Amino acid sequence: MTARVHQISVSDGGVPKRAVARARIATSGVEGDRQRDTRHHGGPERAVCLFSMEVIRRLRAEGHPIVPGSAGENLTIEGLDWARVAPGAVLEIDADGSAPVALEVVSYTRPCSTIRDSFAGLDSNRILQDTHPGESRVYARVVREGTIAVGAGVRLAGS
């Protein structure tokens, strides 16, 4: 399976984020998305939050009520080996009429209580990188801006 954007999600602050068909990805983040807590979320080093559709499916199989966007991610990606989506990795996403959008993974996210309703027992630490390696959301900075759509191809640069 070719990796692709499964869902693009935005909100006016808080979760769940709602699905949109396309969005402009800028160095400031995903157009139409806002964070309530800018001390812990957003900014150039946390411009885009990404998560894996395969991890979401595994979590659902464990009984967690998580769905794309409910854990606060902007881009839900399907078809990548998520363990390879680590700090330093660069993802390229096919963009509308221009060079691919490029996102550099900067850090793993720390789950917060805001997303607890996505987890059985309200335990958002289920996606903490320290205890569940390869199952964390990640933050990325935008290296190259552009407009992307659901279904756009995604690849790890250098792969």
Beta-strand runs (E) in 34-135: 48-52, 75-78, 90-95, 98-108
For the chain, what percent of residues have pLDDT higher than 70?
Answer: 93
- Give the model's pLDDT for residue 1: 59
pLDDT in tens, 52-107: 999 999 999 999 999 999 999 999 999 999 999 999 999 999 998 889 999 999 99
- Count other Cβ atoms within 10 Å, centred on residue 13: 12
C-alpha 136: how far from chain center: 10
Average pLDDT of the chain to the nearest whole number: 93
Task: Tell whether omega for the bond before 111 is within 30 degrees of 0, i.e. cis.
Answer: no
